[in-house]
């Protein structure tokens, strides 16, 4: 991954699969933001399928154009506005087609979006996707509609997502929605509502079904997976550690990943479960945000530097081969050069394999916007971000260099981007590995690869063992 890719918002992704030829209408969907949003687009596709709308990769063919949006930083919202201008142009000679804004920006701006964006017919928040068919019918009659109702219960547990752009090997599964933490910089609690956990049996059923269809890796998604908790009368409480074990027990050939872990909530029980199951990946995304206890307090992250370091120690103690990654914000309100240095120090301490790194972007309505001045000058934010990126590149290079000479079990995901003669896949530590194809192997197979070379972003290897490795729980 280049520096640029690390700091940029995830680019809009368009469904690129086959166009359905059956009767019914066609929808085109673009998704922005976090994995949760990409996962939601697959729920939307399922709900629309029931209403006889089918996905198309071509904007020009679409009766319905949807954009699933992100509000996390100002730039994410600007990108969406730009895309709406592009849609406006391409749809100018197609009267009758409908445009809908979904996701976090819909939730944040509500009716204002209809006022500001004349092109938009529908504004639908993350908990209101079941209402899409009704809103579409109304919009067909000329009534522009908004549903941004945030639910305390909705988890879409019974909806079987339509996998868009799937490799057929890896898939996301949402295990919870919303967030009850109030990190002062963050808009998510306002756009996604209260935290709620999904029925674990529906999660296991979805993962089992994916496995039977040939998928070999599932990523369990939530804003704070460690606070997953499901209780029903007569059934003992299911914690995140319990859930991990339930999904890992489906089959030793099904790999489990999860994101995002919160330093305040990750437990020893979770770490022991990761250590016990070879098919639970040895990779934890544990965003630190800042290394300075003073800044962490202003961010309302509810842990300090010492607590975070302790968690890092515990992870490396209980899961020695674990890779840890992070999210980092440069230039938060009142951040000094000394605070910034502490962020660099904690990065070195944690030995991150990779990080997502951002400049602080004030979001209207958040506690930080209300209470603190966004007082680090842009040039200074940029400089600090560059420092963070340069250090992470060096840490990633060191991390990857240590892998040279070692062998890893790789799940083959498909052709490498650069050459059809190479496969790409990941090791348990979530590192992308590229290696020359050998006959008899296909995406979805596991193979042992010895690493010969490494950059800061990719490992390059050769197939070491032509038998498929099956890891069994100990």
Nearest to 317 by CA among 268, 283, 366, 386: 268
What is the closest distance, in whole angstroms, from the C-beta atom of residue 77 to ligand SAH in the complex? 11
The yes or no reply on residue 189 touching ligand SF4 (CB under 6 A) is: yes
Q: Which residues lie below 8 Å from residue 143, measured CB to CB, with a gap of 6+?
A: none
Task: For residue 271, give the nearest of 304, 314, 313, 307 by alpha carbon.
Answer: 314
* Residue 37 interacts with ligand F3S (CB under 6 A): yes or no: yes
Listed in order, strand segments (DSSP E) in 361-419 are: 407-415
**Residue 177 or 399 having the CB closest to ligand SF4:** 177
Helix or strand or coil: residue 408?
strand
Examine residue 326 and tell whether it contacts ligand SF4 (CB under 6 A): no
Q: Kindly identify the residues of this chain, within the stretch 151-190, that bind ligand F3S according to CB under 6 A.
A: 187-188
Tell me the two tokens of residue 39: 């996962």
Q: Kindly give the interhelix angle for 337-350 and 378-401, rounded to the nearest 10 degrees.
A: 20
- 72 forms part of the interface with ligand SAH (CB under 6 A): yes
The site for ligand SAH, by CB under 6 A, has a size of 17
Looking at beta carbons only, is 340 or 363 nearer to ligand SAH?
Answer: 363
> Residue 428's closest CA among 226, 249, 255, 244?
255
**72 touches ligand F3S (CB under 6 A):** yes
Among 68, 260, 393, 429, binds ligand SAH (CB under 6 A): 260
Asked whether position 71 contacts ligand F3S by CB under 6 A, the answer is yes
Among 188, 241, 298, 312, indicate the residue that binds ligand SF4 (CB under 6 A): 188
**Closest distance to ligand F3S from the beta carbon of 33 (Å):** 3
DSSP code per residue over 2-33: -HHHHHSPPPPEE--SPPP-SSSEEEEEEE-S
From the list 29-37, 127-135, 416-424, 458-466, the region that binds ligand F3S by CB under 6 A is: 29-37
Regarding beta strands 255-259 and 217-221, do their DSSP bridges make them parallel or antiparallel, or are they unpaired? parallel
> Are residues 121 and 140 in contact, defined by beta-carbon separation less than 8 angstroms?
no
Q: Is the dihedral of CA 287, 321, 33, 140 positive or negative?
A: negative
Instruction: For 224-276, give the DSSP string.
Output: TGGG-EEEETTEEEEEHHHHHHHHHTS-TTSEEEEE---TTT--HHHHHHHHH
Are 169 and 411 in contact by the 8 Å Cβ rule? The answer is: yes
Which CB sits closer to ligand F3S, 66 or 319? 66
In 3-state terms, what secondary structure has residue 252? coil
**Any contact of residue 33 with ligand F3S (CB under 6 A)?**
yes
Q: Nearer Cβ to ligand SAH, position 37 or 170? A: 37
Tokens (6 digits) for 52: 């006889």
Q: Is 34 in the site for ligand F3S (CB under 6 A)?
A: yes
**181 contacts ligand SF4 (rule: CB under 6 A):** yes
Could you say which DSSP state residue 61 is in? G
Per CB under 6 A, the segment of 245-253, 358-366, 387-395, 432-440 that binds ligand SAH is 358-366
Using the structure block, give the residue that is written with the tokens 């019914």.
24
Helices (H), 117-220: 132-140, 188-192, 200-212
For the CB of residue 358, give the shortest distance to ligand SAH in the complex, in Å.
Answer: 4
Establish if 183 lies at the interface with ligand SF4 (CB under 6 A).
yes
224: contact with ligand SF4 by CB under 6 A: yes
Q: Write out the H or E segment, with its range, that includes residue 122.
A: strand 122-124
Q: Which two tokens stand for residue 239?
A: 């914690």
Cβ count within 10 A of residue 440: 9
* Interface region with ligand F3S, contact rule CB under 6 A, candidates 31-39, 43-51, 402-410, 437-445: 31-39
Q: Please report whether residue 179 would count as binding ligand SF4 according to CB under 6 A.
A: yes
Q: Is 224 in the site for ligand F3S (CB under 6 A)?
A: no
Tokens 């085109």: give the residue.
Answer: 28
Q: For ligand SF4, which residue of 186, 218, 449, 451 counts as binding (CB under 6 A)?
A: 186
Closest approach of ligand SF4 to the CB of residue 339, in Å:
18
Instruction: Identify the three-state secondary structure at position 360.
Output: coil
- Contact string 231-270 vs ligand SF4 (x = CB under 6 A): -------------------------------x--------
The residue among 77 and 409 lying less far from ligand F3S, judged by its C-beta, is 77
Q: Which does 189 bind (CB under 5 to 8 A by kind): ligand F3S, ligand SAH, ligand SF4, none?
A: ligand SF4
Residue with tokens 């301490």: 349
Residue 361 binds ligand SAH (CB under 6 A): yes
Rounded to a whole number of angstroms, the minimum distance from the CB of residue 172 to ligand SAH is: 15
Sign of the torsion formed by the C-alpha atoms of 20, 23, 28 and 31: negative
Which positions touch ligand F3S (CB under 6 A)? 33-34, 36-37, 70-72, 103-104, 187-188, 191-192
Which positions touch ligand SF4 (CB under 6 A)? 179, 181, 183, 186, 188-189, 223-224, 262
Which positions touch ligand SAH (CB under 6 A)? 72-73, 185-186, 188, 223-224, 260, 262, 287, 289, 327, 329, 358, 360-361, 363
């Amino acid at each position: 991954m280049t520096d640029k890719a690390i700091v940029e918002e995830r680019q809009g992704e368009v469904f690129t699969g086959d166009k359905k030829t059956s009767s019914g209408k066609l929808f085109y969907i673009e998704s922005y933001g976090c994995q949760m949003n990409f996962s939601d687009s697959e729920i939307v596709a399922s709900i629309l399928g029931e209403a006889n709308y089918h996905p198309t990769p071509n904007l020009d063919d679409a009766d319905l154009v949807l954009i699933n949006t992100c509000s996390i930083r100002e730039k994410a919202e600007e990108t969406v506005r730009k895309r709406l201008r592009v849609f406006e142009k391409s749809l100018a000679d197609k009267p009758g087609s409908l445009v809908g804004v979904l996701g976090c920006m819909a939730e944040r701006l509500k009716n204002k979006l209809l006022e500001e964006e004349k092109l938009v017919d529908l504004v639908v928040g993350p908990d209101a996707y079941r209402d899409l068919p009704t809103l579409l019918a109304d919009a067909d009659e000329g009534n522009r509609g908004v549903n941004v109702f945030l639910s305390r219960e909705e988890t879409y547990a019974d909806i079987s997502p339509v996998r868009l752009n799937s490799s057929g090997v890896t898939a996301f599964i949402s295990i919870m929605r919303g967030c009850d933490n109030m990190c002062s910089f963050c808009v998510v609690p306002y756009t996604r509502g209260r935290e709620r956990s999904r029925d674990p049996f529906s999660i296991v059923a979805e993962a089992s079904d994916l496995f039977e269809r040939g998928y070999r890796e599932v990523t369990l998604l939530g804003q704070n997976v460690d606070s997953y908790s499901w209780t029903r009368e007569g059934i003992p409480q299911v914690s995140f550690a319990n859930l991990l074990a339930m999904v890992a027990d489906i089959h030793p050939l099904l790999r489990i990943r999860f994101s995002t872990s919160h330093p305040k909530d990750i437990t020893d029980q979770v770490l022991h479960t990761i250590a016990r199951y070879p098919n639970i990946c040895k990779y934890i995304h544990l965003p630190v945000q800042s290394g300075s206890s003073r800044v962490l307090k202003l961010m309302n992250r509810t842990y300090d530097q010492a607590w975070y370091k302790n968690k890092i120690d515990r992870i490396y103690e209980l899961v020695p081969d674990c890779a840890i990654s992070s999210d980092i914000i440069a230039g938060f309100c009142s951040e000094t050069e000394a605070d910034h240095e502490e962020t660099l120090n904690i990065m070195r301490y944690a030995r991150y394999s990779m990080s997502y790194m951002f400049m602080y972007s004030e979001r209207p309505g958040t506690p930080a916007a209300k209470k603190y001045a966004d007082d680090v000058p842009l040039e200074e934010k940029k400089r600090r971000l560059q420092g963070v990126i340069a250090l992470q590149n060096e840490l990633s290079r060191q991390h990857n260099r240590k892998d040279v000479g070692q062998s890893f079990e790789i799940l083959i995901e498909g052709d490498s981007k650069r050459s059809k003669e190479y496969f790409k896949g990941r090791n348990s530590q979530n590192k992308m590995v590229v290696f020359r194809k050998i006959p008899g192997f296909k995406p979805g197979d596991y193979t042992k690869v010895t690493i010969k070379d490494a950059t800061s972003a990719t490992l390059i290897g050769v197939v070491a063992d032509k038998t498929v490795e099956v890891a069994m729980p100990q």
